A and B are shown apart, each in its own frame.
Chain A
Amino acid sequence: MSGDDTGAEALLEIRDLSVVFDGFRALDGVNLTLARGELRFLIGPNGAGKTTLIDVITGLTRPAGGSVRFGGKDLVGRKEHEIVRLGVGRTFQTSVVFEELTVVENLDLAASFRRPLWALAGRRRGVSEAVRAALATTGLEELAERPARVLSHGQRQWLEIGMLIAQRPSLLLLDEPVAGMSQDERARTGELLTEIAEDHTVIVVEHDMDFLRRYASQVTVLHEGRVLTEGSVDDVSADPRVQEVYLGRAREEATDAVG
C-alpha cells in the first residue's frame, strides 16, 4: 500500500523524479510505485505536476533527474514510440483521433504497431480480435465504419480509450478521461474504467472529485510537484493536508479576486 513498497510485482517504479521548466520545478523528487494490476488515481490542484508526470513516463518530457523503471527497464531517454512498444499506452486531455479514418481503422492502426512495417503494405481484411474486443468494450460497434470526425466529444474519448486497449499495453495512463463530459457520459466512462481495470494496470489523472469518490480506490495526491500523500479514497479525503491544499487554493483564489 505504501509508495515505497518494492514488492516483486511492482510494474512501475519512479524514484526521486524532478522536472524543471525554465527554473520552475514542475516535479520535485517524486516517488511512486505501482503494482501490477493496480488502479491508481492521481489527483492534485492545477499545476501540481500530474500531466507532467505522465509526460515523463511516456517520453514526451525529459526529467532533470531521477529514474522511471517499467518492468525492470529504464524509460528515461527512450523515444515515445519505443516506450509504447515496451507496453505503456496513454490518452490525452484533449482527445486526438484520426478524423479522416473510420473508427475501425483508428482501432486497427492502434492494434497493428507490433507488425513489421513491410507487413503493413497489405490491405486490412476484416477485423482483428483485438479490434473487435475494443469495439465491444467501448460500445462503438454501431459506428465502426463511420469516419471518426462525426463522433461526439464523449465518443471520441471512448474511441481513444478503445485505441489504448487495442494496443494491449501492460500500463495504461489516462489523462482526465471525463473532462468536458456530460453526467451520462461520465457514468459510462466510469463503468468502462472499472471494466478495463479488471485486467490492466491503470493510472488515471483526474480533477473531478465526484468521479474520484465513485470509482477510485487508491489515490496519490500531488501538490507543487511533490507527493503529498497516498492511500485509500477515504483516508486521503479525510487528510487535513489534502483539504488544506484544495481549500487553501480556493481561499487564495478568493482573496486574489477581491484584491
Chain B
Amino acid sequence: MSTVVTSKDASVAPLPPGRPSWRARLQGPAVFTAVAVLALVVAPLVLEPFRLGLLAKYLVYAIVALGIGLAWGQGGMLVLGQGVFFGLGGYAMGMYLKLTEAQGGLPDFMVWSGVEELPALWAPFANPVFALAMAVVAPVVVAALLGALVFRQRVRGAYFAILTQALAAAFVILLVGQQGLTGGTNGLTNFFELFGQDLALDSTQRGLYFVVAVVLGLLYLGARQLVNSRFGRLLVAVRDGEDRVRFLGYNPATVKTVTFAISAGMAGLAGALFVPVVGIISPALLGVVPSLELVVAVAVGGRFALAGAVLGAVVMNYAKTVFSEELSSAWLYLQGALFILVMTLAPKGIIGLLRRRKEAAG
C-alpha cells in the first residue's frame, strides 16, 4: 500500500514547492473554533444535565487520549498503562476531597477498615494546592524515572508496551492490597463538595464541564504547538528511526522520556478532573482494561493526528454508553472488531478517512 502512495507522490514531485493557500492555513483554526463553540455554547444549551455530565467524562478521557496521541502517534511509544498516571492524579484529588469531607477527622473508609490515625502519606493532601500539584507532578516524576531507566537501556517497541501494561496491573494490585490507605477495591467515593461547591448541584457540574472543556482545549493547543516545533519534528524522527537520530547528535532516550512524562502529566490532570465529575476513583477505573480501551479509542480516531486522538476518545466512549444502555455484553466484541478493522483497513483512523475523502473530493 505504501508503494502506491510513494509512486503517486513521486509523479507530482517535479512540481514547484507549493505554499499552502490561505484557505488551507485557516482551516485548522476554523475547525478548532467551530468545535470550541459547539462544546462551550451549544452543548451546555441543548444537553440535559445528565448528558452534559457524560460529555464531561468523555472530554476527561480525551485529555488522556491526547497524551496517548502524543506518546504513541507522534513518538511511537505504545503506552498501555496510562491508567497508572490517571490513577495517581485521581487519587491525589480523591484524597483531598476525602480529607475535606472528614473535616480534620478520618475519612469514612479508614474508620471502617479500623485505621486509627491518619497515615503520614495522606496528611499533606489536605492542602488543595499540594493535592492539585501532586496530581500532575507525581505522574510526571514516575514517568520520567521510568523513562530514564528504560529508554536509556534501549527498551522499546513491544517490550516497552508490555512493561507499561504490567505496571498498570501491578498498580491495581497495590491499590487493592492497601485497603486502609486507598479504600481497596471500592476506591475513594462519596464526595459531596469541591472548594465549597455542592457536587450534586447541576450548576456545579456545569461549571466542572466548562473547566474540563477549557483544559482540554488549552492542552490541545499546547500539544499542537509541541508537535509543530522542532522538538515535534525530532519526536517523529525518533519514532521513524531512533538509531539514525543518534547520528544526528541527539539522545533519543531524552526525547522519549520528556514526551512520556508530558503524556503522563496529561493523564494525571485528567484523573484529577475525573474525580469531581464522576464522583469516584477506584482500581477498576485505571487497570489494564481501561488503559487499553483508550489506546483502542485513539487508534480508531486516528493516532497520527492529535485531533484524531480526541475524536476517538469522545466517539468510543459515547458508543460505549449507547451500547451499555442497549446491549452491554456486545460492546466488548464490537470494540475488538472495530480495533482490528481500523488497524487493517484504515491505520490512520477516522481522521485519516475524513482527510482521504476530502482529498478525493478536492
Q: Is the CB of A105 within 8 A of B233?
A: yes
Q: Is the CB of A117 within 8 A of B10?
A: no
Q: Is the CB of B230 within 8 A of A85?
A: no
Main DSSP-derived SS at the B contact region: helix
**Contacts A80-B246, A117-B258, A146-B13 given; does A98 touch B236 at CB 8 Å:** yes
Give chain A residues whose Cβ lies under 8 Å from the Cβ of B251: 79, 81
Q: Is the CB of A98 within 8 A of B237?
A: yes
Given A98, A108, A113, which contacts B241 in the complex, CB threshold below 8 Å? Answer: A98
Q: Is the CB of B234 within 8 A of A109?
A: yes
> Per-position contact with B for A157-201: 1 when CB-CB < 8 Å, else 0?
000000100010000000000000000000000000000000000
Which residue of A is nearest B17, CB measured? A145
Q: Is the CB of B254 within 8 A of A142?
A: no
Complex CA gap A151/B250 in Å reads 24
Complex CA gap A105/B236 in Å reads 11
Q: Is the CB of B237 within 8 A of A123?
A: no
Considering only residues 121-169 of chain A, those with a C-beta below 8 Å from chain B are: 121-124, 142-147, 149-152, 163, 167
**Contacts A121-B229, A123-B228 given; does A84 touch B240 at CB 8 Å:** no
> Per-position contact with A for B215-240: 1 when CB-CB < 8 Å, else 0?
00000000001101111011011001
Size range of the interface on A?
Answer: 35 or more
Give chain A residues whose Cβ lies under 8 Å from the Cβ of B13: 143, 146, 150-151
Asked if A4 is an interface residue, CB under 8 A from chain B, the answer is: no
Complex CA gap A123/B240 in Å reads 20
Measured CB to CB, the closest approach of chain B to A156, in angstroms, equals 12
Give chain B residues whose Cβ lies under 8 Å from the Cβ of A89: 247
Give chain A residues whose Cβ lies under 8 Å from the Cβ of B255: 117
Q: Is the CB of A108 within 8 A of B9?
A: no
Measured CB to CB, the closest approach of chain A to B227, in angstroms, equals 10
Give chain B residues whose Cβ lies under 8 Å from the Cβ of A90: 247
Which residue of A is nearest B231, CB measured? A120
**Contacts A112-B230, A120-B229 given; does A144 touch B10 at CB 8 Å:** no
| Chain A interface (Cβ < 8 Å from any Cβ of B) | 58, 79-81, 84-85, 89-90, 92, 96, 98-101, 105, 108-110, 112-115, 117, 120-124, 142-147, 149-152, 163, 167
Could you name 8 residue pairs across A and B whose Cβ atoms are closer than 8 Å? Answer: A80-B247, A81-B251, A84-B247, A96-B241, A98-B236, A98-B244, A109-B237, A150-B6
| Chain B interface (Cβ < 8 Å from any Cβ of A) | 6, 9-10, 12-13, 16-19, 225-226, 228-231, 233-234, 236-237, 240-241, 243-244, 246-251, 254-255, 258
